[in-house]
Amino acid sequence: MRKNLKKLAALGLAFVMGAALLAGCESSGGGDSSSSGGKTKLTLGIWDENQRPAMEALVEAYEAENEDVTVEIQLTPYKGSEYWTKLEASATGGKAPDVFWLNVLHVDSYVDGGILADLTDAIADSDIPDNYSETLIDNYVRDGVNYAVPKDFDTNALWYNKEIFDAAGVDYPTDDMDYEDLKALALELQAAGLDDGVYPFACPVDFQTWYYQTVYANGGWILNDDATETGYGEAKTQEGIQCWIDLIEAGLSPKASALAETTADAMFSGGQLAMNFAGSYMVPEYAGNDAIADKVDCVEIPTFNGVEDNCINGLGYAVYEGSKNKDAAIEFAIWLGSEEAMKIQGETGVVISARTDAQKYFAEANPDYNLAAYTNHADEAYPLPVCLKAAELYDLESTWLTKAYTGEMTLEDACKELKTEADALLAK
């Protein structure tokens, strides 16, 4: 495993992509196997302060049912590459958390690094296979081995500012819109005359929340099944990206340069956008923002060419292969996927619980918003393309597609260069 860990560090996992990433720090995984009271001591590595209360409630419930176990929560805030550096260092030193959050985008790298325990048998012996979508379970399966218990998932919805729509005299978005309806609404808002600095919509260079959704719905593709070739040169792929560039060129979105300085989420929160796509992880921030909380709501992502177009990303509970208490850690991870645990997490309203019978709690915890928009078609959502070099691939996308979004190059030329570099990366 040491050789693989050195390889893992060499991969440079300090890429930060997507809305949520893995975090961790030193733990009892490589230290003493029990606390001073003779109990088995486990550590749980997380990264989100907003979810600490939910994790504390889970630990309290588990400890009440398992009096011989104590669980310590160890939180490393999400800051650039901080988590990845700490995880690599702690795993190399044999002290990674016993159980920790694992992002779908990084499964391949950590499987290759040899730090993930095999949960296949434990999951098969639980009720998880009967109570989770196959897509969410398979997110963490590589070569027939399951490396994590699904924790939560995020999809996307179209948010809108009712105050801006009311002032413009334009009807609100609805759940049954398609891309052309979205564009028509944006044009109607533009024609009505918005305040200076306010735009109908935003089109950042964002793969998970924007262009992957329309690429897939259009019949395009990003990565082939064996991760040996990219689909950036395909006309259908480019059409699924060009549709967002068209909105920028029509003045319906801030320019890419402006969105590189101020995110679409920040602009929406500041009342500068009438509409915005947002992942479910943004709900606590919108709901907790007094400036917009009472003014906004959401609907389902508009379809594209009549096809549902939503991407799904997820988080799972992984177990450290080098844990001194691996059996106890696996038992804890399996319990975290139980009906009881998923209900506790779901009722906090911070994330959508991965377990099917617990997904409803996300919407019920935030009844002021149409949060069913995130779960109504979750089973039809597209999983993100992942491979060992996914983070580097996403970086290349950002570099070359930004040139098309800013008008420095045509999308066709940018995608030609992108495909050349991306395919060469995959061939290494």
| Tally of residues, the chain | 428
DSSP 3-state assignment of 428?
coil
User: What does the pLDDT look like over 114-164, one tens digit per residue?
Assistant: 999 999 999 999 999 999 999 899 999 999 999 999 999 999 999 999 999
DSSP 3-state assignment of 276?
strand
Judgement on whether residues 160 and 188 belong to the same structural domain of the protein: yes
Judgement on whether residues 244 and 290 belong to the same structural domain of the protein: yes
CA 213 vs CA 88, 205, 219, 374, 423: distances in Å: 32, 13, 10, 14, 22
Judgement on whether residues 35 and 17 belong to the same structural domain of the protein: yes
What residues contact residue 241 under an 8 Å CB cut-off, 6+ apart?
Answer: 211, 214, 215, 401, 404, 411, 415
Instruction: Give pLDDT, residue 35.
Output: 52
Judgement on whether residues 259 and 396 belong to the same structural domain of the protein: yes
Residue with the two structure tokens 């996307």: 156
Count of other CB atoms within 10 angstroms of residue 61: 16
Beta strands in 251-390 (DSSP E): 275-279, 296-300, 311-319, 352-353, 382-383
Judgement on whether residues 217 and 132 belong to the same structural domain of the protein: no
For residues 101 and 23, the answer to whether their CB atoms sit within 8 Å is yes
Judgement on whether residues 277 and 340 belong to the same structural domain of the protein: no
State both tokens at 192: 């009505």
Judgement on whether residues 395 and 373 belong to the same structural domain of the protein: no
Q: Give the global pTM.
A: 0.86
Residue 353 main-chain phi, psi, to 5 deg: -65, 140
Closest CA to 303 of 393, 389, 373, 228: 373
For residues 42 and 69, the answer to whether their CB atoms sit within 8 Å is yes
Judgement on whether residues 173 and 112 belong to the same structural domain of the protein: no
Instruction: Give pLDDT, residue 48.
Output: 87
Judgement on whether residues 62 and 147 belong to the same structural domain of the protein: yes
DSSP 3-state assignment of 103?
strand
Judgement on whether residues 193 and 290 belong to the same structural domain of the protein: yes
Judgement on whether residues 105 and 148 belong to the same structural domain of the protein: yes
If one counts the domains in the chain, the total is: 2
Per-residue pLDDT of the chain (428 residues; tens, 9 = 90+): 544 444 454 444 333 333 333 333 333 454 444 554 689 999 999 988 889 999 999 999 999 999 999 999 999 877 767 777 787 788 888 889 999 999 888 899 889 989 999 999 999 999 999 999 998 999 999 999 999 999 999 999 999 999 999 999 999 999 999 999 999 999 999 999 999 999 999 999 999 999 999 999 999 999 999 999 999 999 999 999 999 999 999 999 999 999 999 999 999 999 999 999 999 999 989 999 999 999 999 999 999 999 999 999 989 999 999 999 999 999 999 999 999 999 999 999 999 999 999 999 999 999 999 999 999 988 889 999 999 898 899 999 999 999 999 999 999 999 999 999 999 999 99
| CATH number of the domain to which 216 belongs | 3.40.190.10
Alpha carbons 246 and 224: distance in angstroms, whole number: 27
Note down the domain range covering 416: 156-309+389-427
Burial of 371 from C-beta contacts in 10 A (0-12 / 13-18 / 19+): buried
What residues contact residue 138 under an 8 Å CB cut-off, 6+ apart?
Answer: 383
Considering the chain, what is the average pLDDT of its residues? 90
Judgement on whether residues 305 and 320 belong to the same structural domain of the protein: no
